[in-house]
Amino acid sequence: MPTQTTRSPATTSPVAAQAVAPQRLRNFIAGEPVDGVRGFDKTNPVDGSLLAVVHEAGAEQVDRAVAAARAALEGPWGRMSVADRARLLRRVADVIDRRAEELIAAEVGDTGKPETLARDLDVARASANFRAAADTVSAAGLDSYLTEMPDGRRALNYAVRKPLGVVAVIVPWNLPLLLLTWKLAPALAAGNAVVVKPSEETPSSATLLAEILVEAGVPAGVVNVVHGFGADSAGELLTSHPGIDGVTFTGESSTGSAIMRAVAPRVRPVSFELGGKNAAVVFADADLDAAVAGLARSSYLNTGQVCLCTERIYVERAIFDDVAAGLAEQARRLRLGRPEDPATTTGPLISQAHRDKVLAHLALAQEEGATVLAGGGIPALGGELDAGSWIEPTLWTGLENSHRTMREEIFGPVTSLVPFDTEEEAIALANDTEYGLAAVTWTSDLARGHRVAQRMRVGMSWVNTWYLRDLRSPFGGVGLSGVGREGGRHSLDFYTEPTNVCVQL
Ligand code: NAD
């Protein structure tokens, strides 16, 4: 395999800096870049150009990565105090902030998302994730009980938290750095060593983050990165490896199921953040402008490629036409374009393969009788952009919960509007899904907001807002949308094994 090239220094436009010869991205094991068994191409979704050749890890590299993580646990990292770990995480956050332009370039290159979004959401959240994990672990207390038994014996019971050990961190392509650091930061805060497998679609920011961790002083081997695909590649090699002590995964529900099978023989703990088919419910008493703006954001942010996006919107009949007209207008106003243009609101889908999947859903919706209110196909953007994986922000009506389009996750900028008449009906429609990640309720009635939010069968229920996150609050889903919760102390609960010590007094 060819050797790794260096990155271009950041300029005022990180994306312009990225527009150079394809990079060669290697695995990162025990503090060193490591060749893979073969290379695969990563193309730019904006215009289809070749961005990078990525070294795919084989069995030998995955073995080495797991062994390096194990060795790190046995070394100084395994003995580092909580205070020192927290200090180190804050230093990582500082280096992320300092090298933000490079990270933005990496993220924008791989995903084609607007530079403004990468700056304000992805990279800002990456450093915030490290600071939040440092805060959480610094403030974490211990369970302790003074025990009095019926026969008069007395004991002090207390729990100590130990790291899980070697944690496999497997992440998707939609918010690559945000979702990676969401898991990596608390895993490190808890004292684990990790092997990261980023998505084959977004290898760049994870590779750069590995460099950043070294610069901040994270010891070699504590974080290792292996590149490749899922089944029959680095992902499966890692999740079925006997040397891992747990898996934290974000991605499709069907992949979660495959990973569960891979770890089942050795009964390892898993934390899964999976797919969704999220509902919004809009009552006639809602602030219409705020609701329409919020629905546009929850349907089209990141080209609809956020697990929390709403693909089903139920609207009380009295305001159905107003919401439909307002949201269609918002969809049409979105500006598709090059990521470095500050006026761009919406990038392409991640790949041609993903666009084919979304287009298949567009065709299916037509067959099922949908009426298109906005979008519905491939935009004509002209020039080199026509080789990218662009799609129009789309809005439908005319579908019902029985239609496949209303049941399967599409993961693109497409959403359906359906009318309802009563609160009971709205709740029933929203909960009529095998998924259960997030829901949104739009209403000006305070009691109704609480009432409906609590009855949503989901992990996260918003009222009059969407994707407003406090990093300490629990994040996760029910049903097909996941197993477990992360965020604040919930993350610590997954990334540690509490051990009870009982001392008779
Ligand atoms: P994906 O499941 O195809 O891939 C995710 C990761 O898993 C990638 O790194 C991939 O290489 C790896 N992988 C795939 N098959 C594997 C296997 N058999 N063994 C081990 N690893 C394997 O998901 P995606 O297409 O990258 O991401 C989109 C999906 O992620 C959507 O379903 C979306 O809803 C979901 N998602 C969920 C959340 C959440 O927090 N709930 C957040 C973001 C994305």
Q: Cβ(239) to ligand 1 under 6 A?
A: yes
> What's the farthest any 2 CA atoms get from each other in the chain?
84
pLDDT of residue 353: 97
Residue range 278-470, CATH number: 3.40.309.10
Residue nearest to atom 22 of ligand 1 (CA): 230
Q: CB of 241 within 8 A of CB of 41?
A: no
Distance (Å, whole) CA 416 – CA 304: 13
Catalytic residue among 102, 115, 201, 273: 273
Give the distance (Å) from ligand 1 centre to CA of residue 95. 28
Q: CB of 413 within 8 A of CB of 390?
A: no
Q: Cβ(196) to ligand 1 under 6 A?
A: no
**pLDDT band at 501; cut points 50, 70, 90:** very high
Residues in the chain: 505
Judge residue 147's burial from the number of C-beta atoms within 10 Å of its C-beta, 0-12 exposed, 13-18 middle, 19 or more buried: middle
Residue nearest to atom 15 of ligand 1 (CA): 230
Is a pLDDT exceeding 50 seen at residue 159?
yes
For the residues of 44-77, what is the DSSP string, one character each?
-TTT--EEEEEEE--HHHHHHHHHHHHHHHHSHH
Helix and strand numbers (H, E) in the chain are: 17, 21
Instruction: Say yes or no: do domains 14-274+480-504 and 278-470 share a fold.
Output: no
Q: Cβ(274) to ligand 1 under 6 A?
A: yes
**pLDDT band at 20; cut points 50, 70, 90:** low
Close Cβ partners of 402 (under 8 Å, ≥ 6 residues apart): none
pLDDT of residue 19: 47
Residue nearest to atom 17 of ligand 1 (CA): 230
- The model carries a pTM of 0.95
Is a pLDDT exceeding 50 seen at residue 57?
yes
pLDDT of residue 14: 45
Distance (Å, whole) CA 234 – CA 206: 15
For range 88-96, the mean pLDDT: 98
pLDDT digits (tens, 9 = 90+) for 400-412: 999 999 999 999 9
How many CB atoms are closer than 10 A to CB 408? 16
Q: CB of 457 within 8 A of CB of 429?
A: no
**pLDDT band at 15; cut points 50, 70, 90:** very low
How many CB atoms are closer than 10 A to CB 289? 9
Is 273 in the active site?
A: yes
Quote the CATH superfamily of domain 14-274+480-504: Aldehyde Dehydrogenase; Chain A, domain 1 (3.40.605.10)
pLDDT of residue 94: 98
pLDDT digits (tens, 9 = 90+) for 300-340: 999 999 999 999 999 999 999 999 999 999 999 999 999 99
Q: What are the sequence ranges of the domains in the chain?
A: 14-274+480-504, 278-470
Nearest to 474 by CA among 455, 453, 458, 463: 458
For range 67-91, the mean pLDDT: 98
Nearest atom in ligand 1 to 251's CA: 30
Nearest atom in ligand 1 to 259's CA: 19
pLDDT digits (tens, 9 = 90+) for 230-275: 999 999 999 999 999 999 999 999 999 999 999 999 999 999 999 9
Give the distance (Å) from ligand 1 centre to CA of residue 498. 29
Q: Cβ(200) to ligand 1 under 6 A?
A: yes
Nearest to 109 by CA among 185, 230, 213, 207: 207
What percent of the chain clears pLDDT 90, i.e. is strictly above it? 95
**pLDDT band at 8; cut points 50, 70, 90:** very low
Residue nearest to atom 39 of ligand 1 (CA): 273
Nearest atom in ligand 1 to 275's CA: 34
